[in-house]
Structure 1
Amino acid sequence: MEESLGEGIYAGEKLVSADLASTPVRFDERGLVTVVVQQHDTGEVLMVAWANEEALRLTFETGTSWFWSRSRRELWNKGATSGNMQSVRRVLVDCDADTLIYEVDSPGPACHTGARSCFYRELTMGKEA
């Protein structure tokens, strides 16, 4: 993973370095934190997933995105099966330390359907009466 925390700009704000020791992530009652996965150079939101402490540790150790599957109840390394590994460029934490952004380089589809992003459908109110 690139050593870019504390350098750069996000959403018009200068980034501030925040290590895990001084900014502990607030995991929910299930031991999970929400992770928004965003393409680093385009800003595309690719997917939303959940990480536990071990997934977050593995993400930092390997430089690839790791998550906790709530349905399978197991760790998974995104792209390990499909070959579309996400290289994590940096991890951002929100002001409450209860949501993360993984900025990634995702060379292929991020969605299990084969779509680039999991957000390929626009929700509408439906037909007018």
Structure 2
Amino acid sequence: MSDINKNPQDQALVDAVTWSEQGLVPVITQEASSGDVLMMAWMNRDALLETIRLGEAVYWTRSRQKLWHKGEESGHTQKVKEIRLDCDGDTILLMVEQKDGIACHTGEHSCFFKQWDSAKATWVDQSSPKK
């Protein structure tokens, strides 16, 4: 366990989480002002502690195997307004203020811009028109 933050209250939050065998927990990120679901990512203990410390979302990237401060390259940071834990303790919900309204690496507001059209049995791209 990292010693990023030794605050007992923060440690109590981390200890309340039911971590997977890989030491991860899924995180749903929702925009506080609109209620829009922006993205899904993963956190490990260090990511959660760093999120608490910074007040901005920090995730664990499984592909790069490292902490990922959301917006570190794009500038589209996520200021954390609330951290919620589901009833089973195995999913985190972050309520955030999304800088510049862009959460997805594609430039979209939300990562969930593909919608299933059952009549056509296909995914329909609901992304914003590109300028």
Q: What TM-score does the superposition give when structure 2 sets the normalisation length?
A: 0.78
Residues 8-59 of structure 1 show CA distances to partners (whole Å, capped at 9, x for unaligned) of: xxxxxxxxxx975276101101100000000011100000000000000000
Q: 2:47 aligns with which of 38, 52, 55?
A: 55
Higher RCO by CA contacts (8 Å cutoff, separation 6 or greater): 1
Q: Structure 2: give runs of 5+ residues left out of the alignment.
A: 1-8, 122-131
Q: What TM-score does the superposition give when structure 1 sets the normalisation length?
A: 0.80
Q: CA deviation at 1:63?
A: 0.1
Which residue identity is paired with 1:113? T
Q: CA RMSD in A?
A: 1.8
Match of 1:101 in 2: 93
Is residue 2:111 matched to residue 1:121?
A: no
Q: CA deviation at 1:126?
A: 6.1
Q: Which has the higher helix share?
A: 2
Q: Structure 1: give runs of 5+ residues left out of the alignment.
A: 1-17
Match of 2:21 in 1: 29
Question: Secondary structure at the residue paired with 1:21?
Answer: helix
CA contact (8 A) 2:10 2:49 kept: no
